[in-house]
């Protein structure tokens, strides 16, 4: 991003998620290039210039006739422009009335609401997880990783960027349940940290702690240099609940001390069952949700990683859980955001038309 650099700027940039930094950098290149072509100053930019940029960008089309930018991507561009100005210590043009009016005009002309992922409800989660093959080598390796990721992502309602950033030291697992420390989230850019709960489950096949322990058992065997194909059946018989056929037994209640080191919690898995060393990219949870729903014979259209978070919130709302208790798990800071979930995914809740009992 071509903005003034220095210690303060570095601190501000470090507070962004990597995906946000990449998106803002790309958007700034586009905006700065447009300014150079049209004779406008990019920094500090005049609000009227940003409004004109938004209007022109909204009209751009691809060779196939589709719009090049959605209203959501234009809003992200404005956020990136504002961020560049914030780093530079000058007024943010996107906060002006004229830019906000330009965006309202774009949304009105397009006539399309913001794109939202469909909520993956608890029953859908259970059906998706139950279809994952965890008993056979080598598909069982990635199966156990994906099962743990889906259960943890749904139960903690973490964003995908937070899920892939988890390290073993972020978790504290005790018999039957656990706690997870989120070092930084979208609403905690100061990295104050927060704790979310991994609750106990009646059925070990949907127990988050069991799923995580079983995945870690595979990773530890791999890192120790064990012959995983030969040991997989042994591990399954000794530890894995689904393969061992003991639905009443929780692995998490008889596991040992949690290995809280700095290795990534979730790691890449190749088709042959080999486990990689590094962390996962932020798009992997999205791919896992899509792939596992498709494999289960379920509709995957409109589902992605955010479907886990939306499903948790919607399920909690349908069961009458108060907003402030939901926010303690999701780490939302604005109750209005929970209301957005209710309006889009559970409109029948606390609805006057429903209360009238027509």
Instruction: Classify residue 266: in a domain, yes or no.
Output: yes
Instruction: Copy the structure tokens of residue 79.
Output: 């956020």
Q: In this structure, are 100 and 131 located in the same domain?
A: no
Helix (H, G, I), strand (E, B) or coil at 29: helix
β-partners of residue 172 are 179
- Name the domain count of the chain: 2
Residues 259 and 127 occupy one common structural domain:
yes
What domain range includes position 222? 122-295
Query: Domain check: are 160 and 34 in the same one?
Result: no
Mean pLDDT estimate for the chain: 81
C-beta separation of 23 from 80 below 8 A: yes
Domain end call among 85, 110, 135 = 110
Lookup: tokens for 20: 């946000």
Q: What is the pLDDT of residues 154-197, one digit of tens each?
A: 998 888 888 998 999 888 877 656 666 665 444 444 445 577 87
Q: Are residues 18 and 97 in the same domain?
A: yes
pLDDT digits (tens, 9 = 90+) for 132-148: 988 788 888 899 999 99
The pair of structure tokens assigned to 344 is 């889009």
pTM of the entire predicted model? 0.71
- Which CATH number is 55's domain given? 1.10.150.130
- Close Cβ partners of 250 (under 8 Å, ≥ 6 residues apart): 176, 204, 207, 209, 210, 241
Tens-place pLDDT, residues 24-62: 888 999 999 999 999 999 999 999 999 999 999 998 888
Same domain, 202 and 275: yes
Give the separation between CA 39 and CA 31, rounded to whole angstroms: 12
Q: Looking at per-residue confidence, does 21 or 350 come out higher?
A: 21
Q: What is the pLDDT of residue 35?
A: 95
For residue 309, how many other CB atoms are within 10 A of its CB? 23
């Amino acid at each position: 991003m071509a903005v003034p650099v220095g210690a303060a700027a570095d601190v501000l940039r470090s507070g962004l998620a990597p995906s946000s930094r990449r998106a803002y950098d790309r958007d700034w290149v586009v905006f700065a290039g447009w300014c150079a072509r049209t004779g406008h100053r990019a920094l500090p930019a005049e609000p009227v210039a940003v409004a004109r940029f938004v209007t022109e960008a909204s009209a751009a089309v691809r060779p196939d006739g589709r719009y090049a930018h959605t209203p959501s991507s234009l809003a992200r561009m404005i956020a990136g422009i504002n961020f560049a100005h914030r780093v530079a210590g000058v007024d943010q043009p996107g906060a002006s009335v004229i830019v906000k009016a330009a965006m309202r005009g774009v949304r009105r002309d397009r006539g399309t609401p913001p794109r939202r992922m469909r909520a993956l409800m608890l029953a859908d989660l259970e059906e998706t997880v139950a279809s994952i093959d965890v008993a056979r080598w080598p598909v069982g390796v990635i199966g156990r990783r994906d099962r743990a990721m889906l259960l943890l992502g749904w139960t903690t309602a973490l964003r995908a960027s937070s899920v892939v950033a988890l390290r073993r030291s972020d978790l504290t697992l005790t018999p039957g349940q656990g706690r997870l420390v989120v070092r930084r989230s979208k609403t905690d850019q100061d990295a104050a940290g927060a704790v979310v709960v991994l609750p106990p489950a009646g059925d070990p096949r949907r127990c988050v702690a069991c799923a995580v322990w079983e995945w870690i058992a595979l990773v530890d065997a791999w890192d120790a240099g064990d012959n995983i194909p030969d040991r997989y059946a042994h591990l399954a018989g000794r530890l894995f609940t689904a393969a061992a056929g003991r639905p009443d037994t929780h692995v998490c209640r008889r596991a040992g001390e949690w290995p809280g080191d700095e290795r990534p919690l979730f790691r890449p898995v190749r088709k042959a069952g080999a486990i990689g060393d590094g962390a996962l990219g932020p798009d992997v949870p999205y791919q896992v949700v899509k792939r596992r729903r498709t494999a289960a014979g379920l509709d995957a259209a409109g589902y992605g990683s955010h479907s886990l978070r939306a499903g948790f919130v919607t399920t909690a709302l349908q069961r009458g859980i108060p907003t402030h208790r939901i926010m303690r798990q999701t780490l939302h800071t604005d109750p209005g955001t929970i209301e957005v979930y209710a309006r889009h995914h559970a409109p029948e809740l606390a609805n006057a038309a429903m209360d009238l009992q027509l």
